[in-house]
Structure 1
Amino acid sequence: MLARSRAHGLLGPRLSGSPGCLPRGSQTSRIANIVHASTSAPLNQDSSLEFQKLATDQSQSNNFSPSHTITVPTGDGEVQNLGEAEATNTTTDQHDPDTYNPSSASRGLRRPGAWSVSKKATRKILHSQGVSSKLAHSVTRRLNAQIRLRHKPLSSRELYLATVIQGNSLYSRELGLQQWRAAYKEVYLANRYEHEIQNKNCGGSFRETWNAMHRTEKASHWQRLAIWLLQHEPERLPDFLIVTTECKDKPNFTMVYDCLRYLDNFHYDTWLKDWQSGSHNYQSLVETCLDPRDWPLVSVTQKAPRLYIRRASHDGVLSALRIVKERSIRISAETALCFMWRFTELADVERALQALEFIPQKQDDGLTIHSDEVMRHCCKLLTLDTVQDGSAGRNFNILPRLLKMGVRPDRDMMNVVLSNAFKTGDPQLGNDILHFMKGHDHTFDAYTYTTLMKDAVSRGDRAKVDSLIHDIASKDELRENPYLASKIFHSHYIFTTKYMDADADPSRVFYAMLDLYNQLHDITPLKELLIIPPHYTPREGSNLPPSPIALYIMIATFFRCQNRFSNVQRIYAQFRQLVAQGHPLISPLAKTDHTYNEFLIALRSNPRGLRLCIQLVEDMLHSSSAKQKNKTPYHVKPSMRTWTILLSAFIFNRQPRAADKIKEMMAKHNVKYNDVTWNVIINGYANAQNIPQTAASIKAMEQQGFSIDPYTMKSLRYLRDPERLWVAIDELDEAAPAAAQAQDGQPAKIETTSKLEPELSSEEQREKELDEGLGKLGGKMKPKL
């Protein structure tokens, strides 16, 4: 009799017209577990964005149990067929390929724990949390099903946490998730494939605030509200999710993730990434709605943690990793790799290595520590590697730890190691890595040769560069590589143009570079910049569009070979016009300061070019501060190097008042001096025989941590009486108040009379014009807050 009663209670007759549904009992059970998938109910809007409850006077419930097979997305771009009687569980489908399967990768010894949960234990835990004991049956049933499905026993603590998380869910039976999935997938597909919603069958409106509603009412209406907002007002969905997930009775974790995934996929680039509501932004929205403390312990759909990891803050991701480790939440190798990627992006090496430990050494399917995806992430992590001196000598920090974890470096990883070795400034270390790669039969690719070229050029080893170019030319797969071609072009610029021999013919150097450029790229952009002389007849060359680096090199080559003021003025006017027009090849040059600096260098040697220098920096400041809707600024802000070159232009042309104004602007906007800036200032004072200011500048430079270098000593040779300089420095050492005035990157103000050449009336007029230009330039700049 007892067995027959239990069987009747659990396996009663199915509901007509609702395949797969369990029998419903009281009206309370009807309201709590059967939710209408709504698509047509109007939503009241008020300025406070408080959500009001829907009317509950409904006489019947409609299910979304499709009677035919439909194709639905299961993740970010994946699709899956749903049949008439789809089997689901609380948080994920049992066939979800992205859910961790412990049978395929067992990590360590399994702790003893419960393989089943009793209703008595569940009821006791729910009672301690103030949750109705009526939910004990459904919670127990679902937890036991998940444990059997995932083959994961629960310890006492895990049992408590899993029960609390499940008990706080508004939907404790399978029907709620089934209905949600059917309605959500239809809305998702309608948006993705741009077709109309087919099922539109519900009504209702908000009337009272969400927190005033009873649990059963929340369960009855949450899905309908979410689906309606997804369709009609997605901008209000974030507020709705915050309100409904911050209270104790939370919607199903998978449903919340579905809503956020929908918003992230379809609205992130348009408005979601800049969304704000009160103290919340999108980052805090994700951290609130997908709180790791609410992640199901037994079975969590892995795409939800990955969305959290991608969008949460550094502290949020740290918290997620800690909770995963403390609660032994099973995560897939893909999720562990997502942890590793995000911590690498945040330059958190220790946590990235901890995440890598979750990826198994061996696995029947899926990712392992030797998979290509894992190796690519290890390459990215190695870009953060540094060299440290230890008891065993110099060694890398990250590489040995990866090797200890079982990672076997391939050629791509060794390329990164080789690059790191040369970055240390120790050529021997780089050569040791190179010999190791040769000894392990690693074939050199374009990345390897690019690294070797970069090192040889930085050391000025022209013989090595020529040898590498010869090797590249002998390999067909490397000869046409655009990155190597750009590196070879740059090496020619360094050795023939930037550091031009004193006896070299500038005109021949320019045409040699132009011929090499013509072999690699289309010459049309240079014609548009008015750089190509009219009489030049190019040979048949390449039609490939040039990179910004190639164009910059040719502009710099032209100015270093033909830097007449009229040429620079003409080309800058054309450059400015093409950038303003958004030229596809010329305008990218305005995104960095390199091209502007070349214009300034070409102008600073001519007194007539000072006003154009001011105009150029004014263009950079004006355009970079202009806020244009849906348009990026077409001029970059002046960098420290830009300011230093501008300052040197006035110092070299003996315009001390204008130079002082430039320094005032730099101080006003908190532009700190570097060693080059200090050497320019000291050079100017030394040339003017202004010993007090020279001494004050040297003291200020030392106070900022810079020491006298060979460039400083070269400037001091211009002093006619160097002994007076050291006397002035000693006096400054004894005068603490005077030294205190030299803080914040500015030399102490010492009243002195500069012995400059007498100014003529034309020079006075020129200084007046410069003063007006500098005043206009200063007005363009807004102080930093």
Structure 2
Amino acid sequence: MLGMGIRPNLAIFNNIVEYVSSTNDSDTPLEILELMEERGIWPDSYTYLLVLHNAVRLMNREKVDRILHKVTRVNLLSREPHIVNKTLHAILKFRKTTGIGQEVPATETFEAMLEVYKRAHKVQPLIDLGLIPESNDDGKYSTTRSRPPSSTLALMITAYLNTQPRLFSIWQIFRRFQDLVSAGHRDFVPMLRTDYIFNIFIMAFRCDSRAIAKCFRIVDYMLEPLPKAAFQITRAGLRLPLAKARPSKITWTILLNILICNDNIAAAEKLHQKMKERGIEVNSMAWNILIRGYAQNQMVEAAAKALKDMEKESWLPDKHTVEALGLIDNQELLRTMLDVLDSNEPESEPEEDDLTTAREW
């Protein structure tokens, strides 16, 4: 490009970074960003967002740290909402990788995210939900900070729920969320548009069998009509109708996984069947979860049958299927059961072309 007399500008560099970031190369995007700095072509928020997203996607902690260090040196950049959102995502995603055998405590992760959040957004929604206490400093930058988007609030809620070991505390937060939605809170009502916030709360209950009933109560809430006060309020103050998200296949798969993790095989089988009846796609992840449950409980025949049913529905076994089946102690019995099921399958009907060929022959 330089040999052709073309002097790259910001737009050209961004196109190059975007292309390279679509690959599994975590080195080149950052090298291009630093080349831009050397040439006096200062990257904009989009450049940093591309490079940061690529490093997070590839789980390269060292690159993420270097990029975030660059971001924090530019005050306006560190307050840009999209950069803040991706920074929060990076902190949350890397919370368990501080060193060999070391984990960042959940409270420390939340505090680190809170500091980043405060650079760009108002803290009042976090106070309203009960995630942080009210402080005398809260109003200091309130006029210069923006309202947080739903995705940013979801990240903060996820981080906070990780700090709560007690089921009662998690349920209190969810009930508070419901109350705020019913009151028409302009920051929390828009979160109803997707299943993400509900999946977050369901996941928070995944480790305790006593909370399974609460998981299904959350699903029931998703199926309820919108509260009368639940409108989306635009910047101009207009009240627009909102479509409330219903449980998605991700929601049902999370529930299936929770039942399996808590050894409730019978309930998992019922839920699996209910998913089919509701027309919800039972993908390879859901099949692998069910197979893992059977394998953990040494239900060899059920595991073998589930594998065959999975294949009949055109889902190919993957490494997770193999790992799940590896939990079965009696591998010889598993092979025998698979052979029996194969032998019991009816032979496929010949294709019309094959019949025509046979007649001609």
TM-score by length of 2: 0.78
Give distance in 1, aligned partners of 2:345 and 2:189.
51
For residue 706 of structure 1, what is the aligned residue in structure 2? 316
Give distance in 2, aligned partners of 1:524 and 1:727.
62
> What is the SS of the residue equivalent to 2:179?
helix
Give distance in 1, aligned partners of 2:35 and 2:341.
56
For residue 653 of structure 1, what is the aligned residue in structure 2? 262
For structure 1, the 5+ residue unaligned runs are 1-407, 740-785
User: How far is 1:714 from its partner?
Assistant: 3.4
For residue 62 of structure 2, what is the aligned residue in structure 1? 463
- Preserved CA contact (<8 Å) 1:419 1:451: yes
> What is the SS of the residue equivalent to 2:162?
helix
For residue 611 of structure 1, what is the aligned residue in structure 2? 213
- 1:588 corresponds to 2:196: no
Of 536-545 and 644-653, more deviation after overlay is shown by 536-545
Matching of residues 160-559 of structure 1 within 5 Å: 411-412=10-11, 414-427=13-26, 442-496=41-95, 503-532=103-132, 542-543=141-142, 544=145, 545-559=147-161
Give distance in 1, aligned partners of 2:222 and 2:259.
19
User: How far is 1:503 from its partner?
Assistant: 4.5
Tell me which amino acid in the other structure corresponds to 2:204.
A
Kindly report the root-mean-square deviation, in angstroms, between the aligned alpha carbons of the 2 structures. Answer: 3.5
User: How far is 1:455 from its partner?
Assistant: 0.6
Structure number having the greater helix percentage: 2
For residue 677 of structure 1, what is the aligned residue in structure 2? 286
Aligned residue among 281, 301, 304 for 1:692: 301
For residue 573 of structure 1, what is the aligned residue in structure 2? 175
> What is the SS of the residue equivalent to 1:673?
coil
Give distance in 2, aligned partners of 1:498 and 1:526.
26
1:604-640 superposed Cα distances (whole Å, 9 cap, x missing partner) = 222221111112112222338x9x9996346312222
- Preserved CA contact (<8 Å) 2:167 2:205: yes
Tell me which amino acid in the other structure corresponds to 1:523.
V
Give distance in 2, aligned partners of 1:738 and 1:650.
36
Give distance in 1, aligned partners of 2:121 and 2:131.
15
1:40-85 superposed Cα distances (whole Å, 9 cap, x missing partner) = xxxxxxxxxxxxxxxxxxxxxxxxxxxxxxxxxxxxxxxxxxxxxx
For residue 330 of structure 2, what is the aligned residue in structure 1? 721
Paired residue total: 329
Give distance in 2, aligned partners of 1:438 and 1:513.
27
Of 550-559 and 471-480, more deviation after overlay is shown by 471-480
Question: Alpha carbons of 1:645 and 1:493: their partners in 2 closer, same or farther (altered >3 Å)?
Answer: same
- Preserved CA contact (<8 Å) 1:593 1:638: yes
Give distance in 2, aligned partners of 1:412 and 1:429.
17
> What is the SS of the residue equivalent to 1:623?
coil
Give distance in 1, aligned partners of 2:249 and 2:65.
34
- Preserved CA contact (<8 Å) 2:26 2:55: no
User: How far is 1:726 from its partner?
Assistant: 2.0
Tell me which amino acid in the other structure corresponds to 1:636.
A
Give distance in 2, aligned partners of 1:483 and 1:610.
35
For residue 560 of structure 1, what is the aligned residue in structure 2? 162
- Preserved CA contact (<8 Å) 1:603 1:609: yes
- 1:639 corresponds to 2:248: yes
1:691-746 superposed Cα distances (whole Å, 9 cap, x missing partner) = 1121122233344243321x33433343222222222222222221499xxxxxxx
Tell me which amino acid in the other structure corresponds to 1:588.
P
Give distance in 1, aligned partners of 2:309 and 2:158.
34
Give distance in 2, aligned partners of 1:620 and 1:478.
37
Tell me which amino acid in the other structure corresponds to 1:465.
V
Q: How much identity, in percent, do the aligned residues show?
A: 28
Aligned residue among 272, 277, 284 for 1:663: 272
Give distance in 2, aligned partners of 1:567 and 1:639.
26
> What is the SS of the residue equivalent to 2:185?
coil
- Preserved CA contact (<8 Å) 1:456 1:465: yes
